[in-house]
């Protein structure tokens, strides 16, 4: 691996990270569509699957759909399903499960009112203020993995934080998995390939569990991207089959950009998203009833003047909330994202991200993909943006905390003691609580202007850059048993020889 | 006035402003507290008003409270009210009304599910990228008024956009009102002073209406800031009395910073906010039953390490949503704010603002104070931030639009026509809609990275600076009848002589 930091033990300055914790929303999910409108989208998408069908490029998957009762055209590779068949198949999707990390403290609950945050996934480029925009490499990949391991708001890895393009394609996944398995002790995600065997083998080795335990304790995820409109390619299908067979969770993720890969109406794009998600969910259940699967939304609009994808927009926010309503309609966990389409780590990146974060949380997403580091519509993993995202997500964790409304907290006696025109600084009610009363930010700076100027007048992005440096300088590789490490190393060496 | 731009008629480049429109939320208000918890806060605040009372520094107001049945101590200036008295007094507060501007197209509905956006209020400084941070002056005040007049998302003026400190204090309000009344045709707000007569006279002249019509058609607002904890000063009280007497709306705005002017618990700060709001609301109804009044929240926390106010935080968001629940408990319109505590127009300013905007909108605020231009916890009106805020608020307007879920919009036929692997660019369903399908941003830039670099790699803040210039260069003073203008001018001259 590019960087071994085990010998460096400089502690980071006291960064105000919250402990690792998956927040639970206490707020009822927000709805922007009526139940009737959700049913209309549901029925329209069933019509699409019955009348138009979906193209399934894996012969293996087509055979499985056919055995389950679908009508399959071998020439056009089109799979059509009757509404009753779809409804029957998806009825066995589980509502929640526990994700098992190699370090138990990083186990997480998926589903219900829980919201897990993940890194940005597989951008081709990385960027930071010092080095600018760089092609993804094992070096910046490793740093990004270390940063995500260091940030407690990253609950698991939703794919490679950046694509290590300097590695040979045929063995790239081995180095990438090895890095995620050793530089982190959180759950990680397999790269979407037909053959999941390396991912499964390495996740199993890293956890030190046998086949039976691995199947009963999911610890690896796959994101199955559809090729919108209405197509799932062979690698995605075969990857899904391998993962569902071993009880590992799959996210069915439609990429329905209204106006390009989907109808230009947001309702139409949601119909298409829903049809694709239902088709993928059905396949997981054909493979194995009760296999964990996630309803993944990625509906937004295309800027019709330029053809550019636009994310974190008002239409995106509507779709994110409506997507949650659809996922709840089917009783499965919901994946949304923290996205933006800015080219710089600027106010646009921040307000589009915050817009996406609020719509995902109000829509009760269970998994926030791309939560950390996403920039340029996903082309770049920005190290500074990662810290900025971490701050925004920490804010949401605190927002979701229960407000104490006990008699003591209502403070009527304290108000009486202080009285009109007084102040609460010295009151006992304050002294008992001031150390932990409020959120202490990692990044935000609330000092008065003059003090801030004396401190160098650093913008939040410049401060984020410093925090990245502190986190990486003080990074410690999470402990791993020597025997497991040797087995992982040996697996990679053996497989590289086989694939060479 | 410092700047007359009537002769310059350079049209702005086609800025993508939405038309002037007050959005309506179609989303049920979000609740973070149970009904029981809201009742607990309500009853605790009634206890505060009964046991501790509130200090009222105006003898006129104290007499009115006393006549209404309150217990008044003339020495301590303390007013205590029994719970039943408070409940009875506030029962006549109206739920909504129409605000009348001198230009009818800028009339706005306040209350219900409507959300009106306003400018940042009375910061002592202004800033822009070119000139940096400057003391408020008539020149930058006038420019800020013109900018807010130009931005369609500013529905009315919530006070001076910046304090014109170069004007003599005794006559400053005359020049400020004259500027707002002539450079804008939107509703404006009176400066909080004991004597509202100049504001009322000038608003009446500008609208060209008589006393009767002015009372029945509210067209001027006052923000009555409490001196938390539990104090309303004489100027605020007397201003409130003058405004309520003439049927003009008053916002009762508590400034309850938990840990300093309010208990350190958010629930305790809400109890104090609620007690102060109820006391002010009661006074408006003592003055005139049915006088329009707004429940104004400004509860956040103080950063206990530095003593700095922190806004747009998770605690702020909780208080903003809970404040909405309390306002709805009393059936009155609700004021929240778009705030942040950043010293720069940076990502922190953007994410704290977006956090405040989402909590205000999900909490069903009817008035978003400080919606445009607020920086540095309110010490600065930033011209660039004003455009950034305008973009964020435009995004919320579009987010609130009804999604079309008609059969045609569901697009099943379009999906069938395009089929698996196709694209929708050329389909009739797209061609019929592409011009107006999606939000077209004023500020956000979604071009691909290379194109953005070729265009100068400008950040959103730099682009906002350019938009400010375009809006000011193309500003046209809104038309006003010559006779009215003469009357306004003469009024100011006469009053300056009297006050000299």
In order, the DSSP letters of A204-216 are HHHHT--HHHHHH
Sign of CA dihedral A227, A229, A234, A239: positive
B387 touches B129 (CB < 8 A): no
Touching B: A residues 2-21, CB under 8 Å: none
Q: Which domain holds residue B254?
A: 90-399
Q: In whole numbers, what is the pLDDT of chain A averaged over residues?
A: 95
Q: What is the pTM of this model?
A: 0.96
Separation of CA A499 from chain center? 30
> What does the pLDDT read at residue A2?
36
> What does the pLDDT read at residue A7?
38
Which residues fall within 8 angstroms of residue B169, CB to CB, at 6 or more apart? none
Q: With 90 as the cut, is the pLDDT of residue B37 above it?
A: yes
> What does the pLDDT read at residue A194?
80
Mean pLDDT for A28-41 is 98
Tell me: the pLDDT tens digits for B117-127?
A: 999 999 999 99
> What does the pLDDT read at residue A436?
92
pLDDT confidence band for A13 (50 / 70 / 90)? low
pLDDT confidence band for B10 (50 / 70 / 90)? very low
Please tell me if residue A377 touches chain B, with a CB cutoff of 8 Å: yes
Q: With 70 as the cut, is the pLDDT of residue A1 above it?
A: no
Q: For A127, phi and psi rounded to 5 degrees?
A: -150, 150
A265–B409 C-beta distance less than 8 A: yes
Mean pLDDT for B286-307 is 95
pLDDT confidence band for B193 (50 / 70 / 90)? confident
The CA distance from A16 to A398, in Å, is 13
The CA distance from B115 to B366, in Å, is 4
B41–A434 C-beta distance less than 8 A: no
Q: With 80 as the cut, is the pLDDT of residue B12 above it?
A: no
A342–B346 C-beta distance less than 8 A: no
Q: Is the ipTM of this complex over 0.90?
A: yes
pLDDT confidence band for A8 (50 / 70 / 90)? very low
Looking at the domain assignment, is residue B251 inside a domain? yes
Looking at the domain assignment, is residue A370 inside a domain? yes
Looking at the domain assignment, is residue B211 inside a domain? yes
pLDDT confidence band for B162 (50 / 70 / 90)? very high
| Structure tokens belonging to residue A35 | 């139940």
Tell me: the pLDDT tens digits for A378-409?
A: 999 999 999 999 999 999 999 999 999 999 99
Looking at the domain assignment, is residue B234 inside a domain? yes
For helices A460-473 and A138-150, give the axis angle rounded to 10 degrees.
90
Looking at the domain assignment, is residue B11 inside a domain? no
Angstrom distances, CA of residue A495 to CA of A41, A273, A492, A498: 46, 37, 5, 5
Distance from the Cα of A481 to chain B's closest Cα (Å) equals 40
The CA distance from B45 to B277, in Å, is 10
Q: In whole numbers, what is the pLDDT of chain B averaged over residues?
A: 95
Mean pLDDT for A358-376 is 97
Touching B: A residues 271-310, CB under 8 Å: 271-272, 275, 301-306, 308-310
Q: With 60 as the cut, is the pLDDT of residue A5 above it?
A: no
Angstrom distances, CA of residue A361 to CA of A431, B362, B478: 34, 12, 43
Report chain B residues whose CB lies below 8 A from the CB of A37: 403, 405
Q: With 60 as the cut, is the pLDDT of residue A344 above it?
A: yes
CATH number for the domain spanning A203: value is 3.20.20.480
Compare all CA atoms of chain B with the CA of A443 and give the residue at the minimum distance. Answer: B348
Touching A: B residues 138-197, CB under 8 Å: none
Compare all CA atoms of chain A with the CA of B33 and give the residue at the minimum distance. Answer: A403
B341–A437 C-beta distance less than 8 A: no
A230–B415 C-beta distance less than 8 A: yes
B347–A268 C-beta distance less than 8 A: no
B310 forms beta bridges with: B301
The CA distance from A412 to A136, in Å, is 58
B113 touches B26 (CB < 8 A): yes
Report chain A residues whose CB lies below 8 A from the CB of B29: none
B24 forms beta bridges with: B114
pLDDT confidence band for B13 (50 / 70 / 90)? low
Strands (E), B1-131: 54-56, 71-73, 78-80, 96-99, 108-111, 116-119, 125-128
The structural domain count of chain B equals 1
Which of B56, B64, B54 is closest to B89 using CA atoms? B64
Mean pLDDT for B461-490 is 98
Tell me: the pLDDT tens digits for B236-270?
A: 999 999 999 999 999 999 999 999 999 999 999 99
Please tell me if residue A79 touches chain B, with a CB cutoff of 8 Å: no
A342 touches A349 (CB < 8 A): yes
Looking at the domain assignment, is residue A226 inside a domain? yes
Mean pLDDT for B93-103 is 98
Looking at the domain assignment, is residue B345 inside a domain? yes
A269 touches A258 (CB < 8 A): yes
Looking at the domain assignment, is residue A443 inside a domain? no
Count, residues in chain A: 500
Tell me: the pLDDT tens digits for B406-418?
A: 999 999 999 999 9
Report chain A residues whose CB lies below 8 A from the CB of B461: 346-347
> What does the pLDDT read at residue B2?
36
The beta-carbon neighbor of B308 closest among A261, A301, A447 is: A447
Q: With 90 as the cut, is the pLDDT of residue A264 above it?
A: yes
For helices A383-399 and B347-362, give the axis angle rounded to 10 degrees.
30
A414–B268 C-beta distance less than 8 A: yes
Tell me: the pLDDT tens digits for A433-466?
A: 999 999 999 999 999 999 999 999 999 999 999 9
Q: End-to-end alpha-carbon separation of chain B, Å?
A: 19
- Report which listed range, A100-109, B189-198, B299-308, is most confident: A100-109
Touching B: A residues 405-424, CB under 8 Å: 405-406, 409-412, 414-416, 418-424
pLDDT confidence band for B192 (50 / 70 / 90)? confident
Among the ranges given (A83-87, B11-15, B262-266), the one the predictor scored with the smallest mean pLDDT: B11-15
Report chain B residues whose CB lies below 8 A from the CB of A406: 267
More confident position, B14 or A165: A165
A398 touches B315 (CB < 8 A): yes
Touching A: B residues 43-62, CB under 8 Å: 44, 47-48, 51-55
Which of B422, B310, B387 is closest to B356 using CA atoms? B310
Distance from the Cα of A339 to chain B's closest Cα (Å) equals 13
Buried b (16+ CB within 10 A) or exposed e, B292-310: bbbbbbbbbbbbbeeebbb
The CA distance from B331 to A97, in Å, is 43
Report chain A residues whose CB lies below 8 A from the CB of B41: 405, 410
How many interchain CB pairs under 8 A, A with B? 402
Please tell me if residue B390 touches chain A, with a CB cutoff of 8 Å: no
| Structure tokens belonging to residue B64 | 């009115």
Please tell me if residue B318 touches chain A, with a CB cutoff of 8 Å: yes
Report chain B residues whose CB lies below 8 A from the CB of A451: 306
């Amino acid at each position: 691996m590019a960087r071994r930091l085990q010998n460096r033990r400089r502690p980071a300055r006291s960064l105000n990270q919250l402990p690792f914790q998956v927040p639970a929303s206490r707020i009822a999910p927000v709805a922007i569509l009526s139940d009737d409108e959700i049913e209309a989208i549901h029925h329209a998408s069933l019509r699409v699957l019955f009348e138009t069908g979906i193209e399934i490029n894996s012969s293996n998957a087509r055979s499985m759909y056919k055995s389950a009762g679908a009508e399959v055209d071998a020439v056009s590779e089109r799979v059509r399903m009757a509404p009753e068949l779809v409804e029957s198949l998806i009825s066995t999707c589980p509502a929640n499960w526990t994700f098992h990390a190699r370090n138990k403290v990083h186990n997480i609950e998926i589903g219900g009112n829980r919201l897990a945050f993940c890194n940005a996934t597989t951008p081709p480029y990385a960027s930071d203020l010092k080095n600018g925009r760089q092609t993804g490499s094992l070096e910046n990949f490793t740093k990004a993995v270390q940063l995500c391991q260091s940030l407690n708001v990253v609950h698991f890895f939703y794919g490679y934080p950046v694509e290590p393009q300097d590695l040979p394609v045929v063995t790239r996944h081995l180095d990438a998995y090895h890095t995620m398995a050793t530089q982190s002790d959180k759950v990680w995600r397999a790269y979407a390939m037909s053959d999941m065997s390396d991912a499964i083998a390495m996740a199993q080795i890293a956890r030190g569990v046998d086949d039976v335990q691995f199947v009963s304790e999911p610890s690896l995820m796959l994101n199955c991207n559809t090729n919108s409109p209405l197509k799932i390619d062979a690698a995605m299908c075969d990857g899904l089959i391998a993962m569902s067979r071993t009880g590992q969770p799959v996210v069915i993720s439609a990429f329905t950009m209204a106006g390009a890969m989907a109808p230009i109406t947001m309702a139409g794009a949601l119909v298409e998203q829903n049809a694709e998600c239902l088709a993928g969910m059905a396949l997981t259940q054909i493979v194995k009833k009760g296999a964990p699967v996630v309803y993944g939304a990625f509906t937004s609009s295309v800027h019709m003047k330029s053809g550019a994808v636009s994310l974190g927009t008002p239409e995106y926010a509507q779709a994110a909330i409506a997507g949650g309503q659809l996922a709840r309609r089917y009783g499965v966990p919901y994946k949304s994202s923290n996205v933006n389409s800015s080219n710089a780590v600027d106010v646009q990146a921040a307000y589009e991200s915050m817009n996406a974060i609020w719509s995902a949380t109000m829509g009760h997403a269970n998994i926030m993909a791309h939560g950390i580091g996403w920039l340029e519509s996903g082309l770049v993993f920005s190290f500074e943006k990662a810290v900025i995202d971490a701050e925004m997500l920490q804010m949401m964790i605190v927002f979701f905390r229960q407000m104490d409304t006990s008699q003591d907290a209502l403070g009527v006696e304290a108000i009486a003691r202080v009285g009109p025109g007084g102040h609460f600084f010295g009151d006992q009610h304050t002294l008992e609580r001031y150390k932990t009363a409020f959120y202490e930010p990692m990044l935000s700076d609330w000092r008065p202007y003059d003090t801030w100027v004396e401190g160098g007048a650093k913008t939040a992005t410049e401060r984020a850059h410093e925090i990245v440096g502190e986190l990486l300088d003080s990074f410690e590789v999470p402990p791993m048993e020597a025997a497991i490490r040797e087995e992982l190393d040996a697996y990679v060496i053996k497989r590289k020889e086989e694939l060479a």
